[in-house]
Amino acid sequence: MQSGYLRFENISKQFPGVKALDGVTFEADEGSVHALVGENGAGKSTLLKILSGLYRPDGGHISLGGVAQHFSNTSDALHAGVAIIYQELNLVPDMTVAENLFLGHMPAKMGWLGKKALRENTLEMLKTLEEAIDPDCKIGNLSIAERQMIEIAKALARKAKVIAFDEPTSSLSDREVQKLFAIIAELKRQGKVILYVSHRLSEIFAICNAVTVFRDGKHIETFTDMSKLTQDQLVTKMVGRSIHDVYHYVRHPHGEAALEVENLMGYGLAEPATLTVNQGEVVGIFGLVGAGRTELLKLIYGATKAKMGKIKVFGREVRITKPSHAIHHGIVFCPEDRKKEGIIPIRSVRENINISVRRLTAKMGFIPEKRDIENAEHFVEQFNIKTPSIDKLVRDLSGGNQQKVVLARWLSEKVKVVLFDEPTRGIDVGAKAEIYGIISKLAAEGIGVLIVSSELPEILGISDRIIVMRQGKLQASLTHDEATEEKVLRLALPVVENKTSIYRMQ
């Protein structure tokens, strides 16, 4: 197999006021999985857009198999054998699987024979991925994992030699992740050049042969021997500081019980749940997908109605049957899917910070403009929200900054307890460090914090206490000093022997 089949030579790209890429040079081999890592804004996405033909570089060129390429558009890149599978999948929901798979290059003439060939070719392509999906099924009826398989099949249908994955596991279950990894391994065996962008470092060490680090639009270093690289070294290259400095773990003084949950039962739980979060305490909840973690948070918050149980805030029993009740009693929730549930994308940073259920139900729903502006500017500065203006649309911000906006909205209220569901999903290491700093600050101010996360190092790194869930049940509660990866995984997995690469993929 050819070394350096894909080569980026002195690639530069500038936007008004921003040098997105600055003389980037590196190469990726056939039959390899090559990771691209760096904080948001480091240049990874811009490089993929240049590779896809969406952007044209201001300087430099791309070579495939030693031949310089100059893509004027995405069609040029596709014809050259380049396919990009973005986090936001590029499929037409109202068209069938077969129509999406061969959109733009039908296998035969139009008509009945063409449709028959289309179906047969689709079945053949899906068979290579071991996918039993009906070619006539509408894309809109498929799961995210199934849609992703269709994107991979599209790349193979177009005879792609270079396939780039952008955050491919962000919405997948553990089982779906393992299936994706198996397919990537097969593509690697076939001699494809795989580029892999992910903020999940455990995945990088699990499946990648090499990793290239970007920072501030520059190529920092390429590592070709993963066995000689540690996560700490990689993070240091990415953000300029050690991974041990990222988590901000400080045990703050704990006060009385801020939140008490007694025998709470409802959708997603196999038995009643009882737990306590003290004032100034960070409690993490870990479990595999389907363990009931998110469902428990939604029951506490009133997003799902509980069948039985009690909730107390600072010793006083409260009635919570909907989110507005929880907010009234000082309990707020930062959801996993911030784009759908956390932010209002078409509104500004200022509007998102200042909108809350309490304000919308206040007299006339009106806030004086001066107070509105001052409140937004206060949180933009306090949380280091990177935005050119408080009037910037929140959809244009990075994931980490969107998460800070969600936090700012709720913390402008009189908060007693904060519930987090996957607070750092899909954001870079640098932004994660800032979120951890905010969580630590909340605890220092006496707020009780309850966090659900699928990232075990994150849970171990920031929690005073770890609650382990398994199949809808609370299995155990461990202190920060007691908890180790092995202990937590043993409790989270139904069978100890299953502790393979479900999480611990390093």
Query: 496: pLDDT confidence band, cut at 50, 70 and 90?
Result: very low
Residue 506 has pLDDT above 50, yes or no: no
Higher pLDDT, 181 or 412: 181
Lowest average pLDDT, out of 20-24, 418-422, 487-491, goes to 487-491
Nearest to 233 by CA among 219, 243, 221: 243
Q: Are 264 and 273 in contact (CB under 8 A)?
A: yes
Helix 429-444 vs helix 231-239: crossing angle, to nearest 10? 90
Give the residue-averaged pLDDT of 311-340.
Answer: 89
Region of 104 on the Ramachandran plot (φ > 0 left; ψ -120 to 50 alpha; else beta) = left
Query: 500: pLDDT confidence band, cut at 50, 70 and 90?
Result: very low
Looking at residue 448, what is its pLDDT? Answer: 97
- Local structure of 502: helix, strand or coil: coil
Nearest to 98 by CA among 160, 156, 154, 161: 154
Higher pLDDT, 425 or 392: 392
Residue 468 has pLDDT above 90, yes or no: yes
User: Backbone phi, then psi, for 452, in 5-degree steps?
Assistant: -105, 130
Query: 357: pLDDT confidence band, cut at 50, 70 and 90?
Result: very low
Homologous superfamily of 255-330+415-423+440-491: P-loop containing nucleotide triphosphate hydrolases (3.40.50.300)
Give the residue-averaged pLDDT of 181-190.
Answer: 93
Beta 218-223 vs 316-318: how paired, if at all?
unpaired
Looking at residue 356, what is its pLDDT? Answer: 64
Looking at residue 169, what is its pLDDT? Answer: 85
Residue 337 has pLDDT above 70, yes or no: no
Residue 174 has pLDDT above 60, yes or no: yes
Q: Could you tell me what percent of the chain has a pLDDT over 90?
A: 45
Kindly report, as residue ranges, where domains of CATH 3.40.50.300 are found in the chain: 6-245, 255-330+415-423+440-491
Nearest to 199 by CA among 89, 394, 44, 84: 44
Give the residue-averaged pLDDT of 391-398.
Answer: 86
Residues 365-380: tens digit of each pLDDT: 556 778 878 888 888 8
Higher pLDDT, 273 or 199: 273
Residues 115-163: tens digit of each pLDDT: 777 888 888 888 878 777 888 899 888 888 888 888 888 888 888 999 9
Residues 286-306: tens digit of each pLDDT: 998 778 999 999 999 999 999
Give the residue-averaged pLDDT of 493-505.
Answer: 42
End-to-end alpha-carbon separation of the chain, Å? 26
pTM of the model: 0.62
Show the tokens assigned to 218.
């520059």
Instruction: Select 6-245's CATH number: 3.50.50.60, 3.40.50.800, 3.30.70.2610, 3.40.50.300.
Output: 3.40.50.300
Lowest average pLDDT, out of 68-77, 89-98, 233-242, 440-449, goes to 233-242
User: What type of residue sits at position 441?
Assistant: K
Looking at residue 285, what is its pLDDT? Answer: 97
**Euclidean distance between CA atoms 120 and 440, whole angstroms:** 56
Residue 498 has pLDDT above 70, yes or no: no
**Euclidean distance between CA atoms 454 and 421, whole angstroms:** 9
User: What type of residue sits at position 177?
Assistant: V
Higher pLDDT, 270 or 239: 270
Residue 502 has pLDDT above 70, yes or no: no
Looking at residue 105, what is its pLDDT? Answer: 65
Q: Could you tell me what percent of the chain has a pLDDT over 70?
A: 90
Show the tokens assigned to 120.
């047969």
Distances in Å between the Cα of 65 and the Cα atoms of 6, 29, 161, 211, 501 are: 7, 10, 10, 20, 34
Lowest average pLDDT, out of 81-90, 137-146, 494-503, goes to 494-503
Looking at residue 31, what is its pLDDT? Answer: 96
Looking at residue 338, what is its pLDDT? Answer: 64
The mean pLDDT of the chain is 86
* Rounded (10°) CA dihedral 32, 38, 44, 46: -170
Query: 497: pLDDT confidence band, cut at 50, 70 and 90?
Result: very low
Residue 499 has pLDDT above 60, yes or no: no
Looking at residue 367, what is its pLDDT? Answer: 64
